Each structure stands twice: as C-alpha cells, then as structure tokens.
Amino acid sequence: MQALYFLFVSLLSQAWILKTLAFAILVGSIIALIEKSGGIGGFIDYVLHKKNLVKSPRSALLLSYTIGVVIFIESSITALIAGAVGKPLCDKYNVSHAKLAFVCDSTSAPISSLIVLNGWGALLLGLISAQITQGMISGNAVNILIDSILYNFYAMSALVITFLTIWFNIDIGAMKHTQLPNSTTQDEKIAHKSMYLMLLPIALLVSLVFVFLYISGDGDILKGSGSSSIFYTTLSTLLFTFFYYIFTKTMSVKVWSKTTFSGAKKLFPIALVLLFAFSISAVTVELKTGLYLASLANENLNIHLLAGVIFLLSALMAFSTGTSWGTFSIMIPVAVPMAVAVDANIALCIGAVISGGVFGDHCSPISDTTIISSIASDCEIVEHVRTQLPYALTSGFIALIFFILSSYL
C-alpha cells in the first residue's frame, strides 16, 4: 500500500501528467458548454436544411469522419468534437451510436499520429532526439520522424478501412446487432441557434495548439510541449467561452458555471483512468517489461521479422496500458537498439512502434480515446470495444503484412 501511495505521489508531481489530467477534465467542460449553447444545433440546422449537405446515413457518418481527419490537433479533442457533432445527425438517420463511436475512435489517434504538427509530433521528436543524443543513431531528428511516419501502416489502414466501412455500409461481427436510435423526435430536440457558438470555440481549440507549441518550443513547433500546449489551449478556450457566451447573452454566469462543472464531472472518470494507465506504464518501466520482451524477441530473430515483432510488442504494450504515448516512451528506446544491432531500417522500426502504439490503444478498453469516443457518441464502452475490434484487427493484420513486406525492400 505504501509503495502504491508513493507511486501516485511521484506521478502527480510530474507537471506533464497533471496538465494531461487537467486537459481531460477541462475538455469535458468545453464540450458541455458548446452543447448547452445550442451551437451544435445551429450547425446541424445549417448542414441539414440550409445547405442540404447531410441527407443519408452515409453522409452523416462521412461528416464525422471528415471532422476527425481535419481536426488533427489532439486525439481526444478530435473524438469529442466528431462525436458531439455526429450524434444528432446519426440519430436523425437511424445510425447506431456504436458505429459513430467507431468512426470517432478510428480517426482520432490515427490522424494525429500521421499529421504530426501537434503534441504527438513533439513527443516523438523528443524521443528520437534522445536516441541521437545518446549516440544510438545519427542524423536529423525531423527527417527521421518524417521517414518513420511514412511507415505508419496501421494509421493509414485504419483510415482507409473506416472510409470503406462508411461508404459501403459494411457491418461485420457485433456491429450487425447494434441497437438503432429512435429518430422520430430528434428534430424537436435540436436547439437552432447560431452555429458560430460551436465553430468559434472549436476554431480556437485548433489554432491555439499551434500557438502554444510554438511558444513552448521557443519558436519551433516540433519542439514544443504537447501536454502544456493542450492544457493551455483548453484553459484559454474555456475562458473564451465565458466572455463569448455571457456577452452574447447565450447563457448567464450561473448557467455557465453549472455547465462547466457538470461537463468536468462527466469526464472526471476519464482522468482517473488516465492516472491508472500512467501508473501501469510507470510500473512496466520499473520492471523493465519492454526490455524483457525485446530480449525474448531478439533471440534468433530474423531481420525480416523485426519490424513486425516490434509492431506486435508495441500493440501489446499499448493495449495493456491504454496509452500510445506511454508505449512510444517505452518502446522507442528499446526498438532503436534492436534495429541498430541487426542493421535494420531505423525509420521502419520506429514506424512499427508508432503503428503498434496506435493499434493497441485503439483496441484497449482503458484507452482515453476509447472512453471519450464512447461518451461523445453515447455508446456503452463495452459495446464500443466489442463492435470496433473486428475492424481494428483487420487493419492491424494489413499493417503487419506491410511491415513484413517492407523489411524485404
């Protein structure tokens, strides 16, 4: 018990962990405020009636998919916004919440790990730079990162599989038996207010991440702090909603305060899950689990199977801990020496870590994006994991084949 106490004390003494936990709570407040303002209803009214952009189940899901791809700043924010916007539309066109949750989850981490002008890029660049500093590899960290992203086969596969699933309405496994929402009274539930009540806070969320990455990186976005950037972004956006909604008389100070608190309370369990995930990650580091798994894999391992094995090890680590970032931090220092030892493609092996981390995180029931996608789509977490797993495993199998084939090139 004493060891557990000191473990949590050590975790909560780290600034980046506190900022990440605060972000998980604050972003719940922002989404609750946007929903309460009626901005989402205004946006729904705009795309449904004024522009007639959404007129079928396919186009309802494609809108959430597009939002997930365009808003690549942070996986949790991506899933929350895509779910909040997509849910009323999917209810109207009788699309299951499980399928919406799958779309939200399948675009959040994959797109964030592919377009790395965000906290993901800052973390990966820092880990690669550490390997250069330690003399494990040589070269330019940015170039190595860009080369590694080209081997992020799981993220690419997941995005393609998700798009094909939407376009051809492919239901496999448990997705065939999901409960459909009752859409008969949905139009009456949507408050038709200005869509800018939603768009302006979201625009601020997107733009301020780059600003704070630039500031925290002393003028270099790719060297900025991901945890600091998302924390200060959500805090600034929360303050913006206060002045914007109060001065436009969208809501009173009392309503704003109550909504902020209720939104934070709703996502507080996610912060706890994240804290436990961080603690599991810390324990695995102390036990040198990654090094042990790597030593087992490195014995008599064929060079052509190395990237595939690293991909599977990273996926196992991410699934167990529920965090892709923690997996990157553990596995990149393990994968790089393994690649150097057998003269393998460094970028390919780092790409395998990134892909495996996203894959395992995507399948894990304790992942933050899994939980957030479920909450944003109003879908049970167990149902979301169960219905999403066949698609994720398909994408993972495709990625594994590509890693093995790429080892021969």
389 within a domain of the structure (yes/no): yes
6 within a domain of the structure (yes/no): no
- Number of Cβ within a 10 Å radius of residue 262: 14
- What single letter denotes the amino acid at residue 186? Q
* Two structure tokens written together for 287: 């036990």
Contacts of 297 (CB under 8 A, 6+ apart): 309, 310, 313, 338
* Two structure tokens written together for 390: 């066949």
Give the number of domains in the chain. Answer: 1
7 within a domain of the structure (yes/no): no
Element (H, E) at 86: helix 75-92
**279-331 residue pLDDT tens:** 665 666 566 665 565 566 556 667 788 899 899 989 998 898 777 877 888 88
Can you say whether residue 203 is alpha, beta or left, with left for phi > 0 and alpha for psi between -120 and 50 degrees?
A: alpha
Instruction: Measure the CA–CA gap between 107 and 123, rounded to whole angstroms.
Output: 19
Instruction: Measure the CA–CA gap between 86 and 97, rounded to whole angstroms.
Output: 9
Q: If we measure between CA atoms, which residue out of 374, 392, 394 comes closest to residue 383?
A: 374
pTM equals: 0.78
Kindly tell me the burial class for residue 217, based on how many C-beta atoms sit within 10 Å of its own C-beta (0-12, 13-18, 19 or more): middle
User: Where are the strands (E) in 138-265, listed by range?
Assistant: none
Range(s) of the domain holding residue 304 = 12-407
Element (H, E) at 173: none
Contacts of 408 (CB under 8 A, 6+ apart): 304
3 within a domain of the structure (yes/no): no
5 within a domain of the structure (yes/no): no
Residues 148-167, mean pLDDT to the nearest whole number? 95
**261-272 residue pLDDT tens:** 998 887 777 677
Buried b (16+ CB within 10 A) or exposed e, 69-105: bebbbbbbbbbbbbbbbbbbbbbbbebbbbbbbbbbb
CB 356 within 8 A of CB 327: yes
pLDDT of residue 213: 78
**379-408 residue pLDDT tens:** 888 899 999 999 999 999 999 999 999 988
303 within a domain of the structure (yes/no): yes
237 within a domain of the structure (yes/no): yes
251 within a domain of the structure (yes/no): yes
CB 230 within 8 A of CB 74: yes
**59-88 residue pLDDT tens:** 989 999 998 888 776 777 788 788 878 888
**DSSP secondary structure, 49-79, as one string:** IIS----SHHHHHHHHHHHHHH--S-HHHHH
